[in-house]
Amino acid sequence: MRKKNFKRLNLLLALIISFSIVLSPALNSNVQAKGKKEVKNVILLIPDGTGITHTTLARWYKGGSPLAMDEIASGLIRTYSSDAVIADSAPAGTAMATGFKSHTGFIGVLPDVANMPLVDAIPKGEERRPVATVLETAKLKGKATGLVATSEFPHATPASFASHYPKRSDYNTLSEQMVYNNVDVVLAGGYSELTPAKRKDKEDLIKVLKERGYGVVRNNEELSNFKGNKVWGLFAPSAMPYDKDRTENTPSMATMAAKAIDILSKDKDGFFLMVEGSKIDWASHANDPVGVITEVLAFDNAVKVALDFAKKDKNTVVIVAPDHSNGGMSIGDSGLDKTYDNEPLSTFLPPLKAAKLTGEGLESKINSEKTNIKEVMSYYYGVSDLTAEEEEAIKNAEPGKLNYTVGPIISKRAHIGWTTTGHTGEEVGLYVYHPKGDRLTGVVQNTDIAKYICEVLGTNLSETTKTLFLQADKAFKNKGALVTVDSIDKENLVLIVSKGETEIKFPQNKDIAIVNGKVVKMPGVTVYSGDKEKIDISKWYVSQNAVDLIK
């Protein structure tokens, strides 16, 4: 009987083993599929200048309830640049866009110096070389692309994803590249940057956009009614107003994010979208806690829009990644040195809750003679005890800088501390949602954001750089061509390549080549990253397609 049972047991085990061998490929493939990172879409949301205190204060302001981003908190980001502990927005944005740390003021190009820990040195001759962005890798893969910001569109962060130049203040260059880089959706401020009156090159880039099939909308109603697939929404001459100050005809961050997702998600190949809460940073520079809180909450509403879409779509990664912190803000100041551990919420919140506008929005309420300052501060901020010194400071505030005066006045009453009006160098929060749980976690570098985006989209930054940004002089000379530059007009430089009967002109910042007078479109823009006054032929970069035009 025991022998029979033993034989039966062996037979049963053999059947189980055989069955498991037959099934194992299927089981293994399920495991692989579950762990696969690649998705169709990525939404990267950047709350500029946002530290942990910024989000903590915003939570208390809304009653202590969680922010939308809280549920996807996953780690911390190290924000330093290639040669400094505290990062400027240009290299910080560039790091997240390209996977390379860079130098203050540099947009989408390598730095001159890389001497911080864990940063590779820059090979000689590669300084200021343009490097591809995650937006450009997505575009080459056939995906739709979009940028949303509350600053003017060529400001440091949005510019870092769609342009390349070592001078963040050169809006003429950055904005032209962004127009010719064929981003499908751009929603921000900065209408004047595209007009001949503002531009040194006198080009009408609004006309260029319309000729290229873009809708150009100027207000919330026009954005809502837009039905096409390519749009630039420009909702202010320069930066958009703070959310606390905006009217109904100016779209919120959440509205812009929702519209961008609606348009971009029509593309069957997927999309990449960057959304920046630009003016959290600006409020921090001004030490304006009302601006900080209301901008964080407006940004978080956009995060909710992105997460709601991603959870329903099940093929979208959402990343929330501040570029750096700002202001050294603290909940509690030196006035509470002896009582800090006994202070209730009522110590901090009433002066913040009383505000009906930010310091910037308040400026329009003060008359030209500045005789109504006490009345304005009482009505719009609930401040009935304004001192003579504070009144004088408001009276003497520079135009456009009132928030730098009002912010500290409110901070003092709310016991919000600040250490600086500049950026700070500590780590910032990282938040990631992946439909299959393959999240970026732990303490990571800002450059890891770009690398992770490429992992989940199945794209390659180095290969895209090789495709879009070859050193033109070297590449064309290897084909026996002569390379010169027409620099008569410093605002409209042209690279000229000639061989035999072929002459090709490559206008700086554009995606076109003019071959013996005939215009040919290129997959990327021609970049000159050198000095406009002293032309360096080695600093011109063109795509592989451009080089292939010379036979």
**Chunked mean pLDDT (size 10), the chain, 551 residues:** 42 36 29 63 98 98 97 98 98 98 98 97 96 98 98 98 98 98 98 97 97 98 98 98 97 98 98 98 98 98 98 98 98 98 98 97 96 98 97 96 98 98 98 97 98 98 98 97 96 97 97 97 97 94 98 92
Q: Is 158 exposed, middle or buried (0-12, 13-18, 19+ CB in 10 A)?
A: buried
pTM of the full structure? 0.93
Cα(39)–Cα(273) distance, integer angstroms = 14
CA geometry: angle at 234 spanning 230 and 238, to 5°?
A: 150
Q: What share of the chain is helix, strand, coil (3-state, %, to 5)?
A: 40, 20, 40
CA geometry: angle at 120 spanning 116 and 121, to 5°?
A: 85
The pLDDT value given to residue 36 = 72
Cα(243)–Cα(233) distance, integer angstroms = 17
- Going 448 to 454 to 458 to 461, the CA torsion angle's sign is negative
CA geometry: angle at 256 spanning 130 and 186, to 5°?
A: 30
**Residue 225 Cα to chain centre, angstroms:** 26
HSE on the CB side for 427, CA within 13 Å? 10
Cα(289)–Cα(142) distance, integer angstroms = 42
Q: Which residues have a catalytic role annotated? A: 89
Q: What is the CA radius of gyration of the chain?
A: 27
The pLDDT value given to residue 25 = 30
- Going 354 to 356 to 361 to 363, the CA torsion angle's sign is negative
The pLDDT value given to residue 23 = 30
Q: Are 139 and 130 in contact (CB under 8 A)?
A: no
Measuring CA to CA, how many Å separate 234 from each of 75, 124, 188, 203?
34, 40, 5, 17
For residue 15 the two structure tokens come to: 């059947």
**What is the DSSP code string of 349-369?**
HHHHHT-SS-HHHHGGGS-TT
Q: Are 407 and 359 in contact (CB under 8 A)?
A: yes
Q: Are 232 and 182 in contact (CB under 8 A)?
A: no
Measuring CA to CA, how many Å separate 340 from each of 127, 163, 302, 528?
50, 47, 34, 55
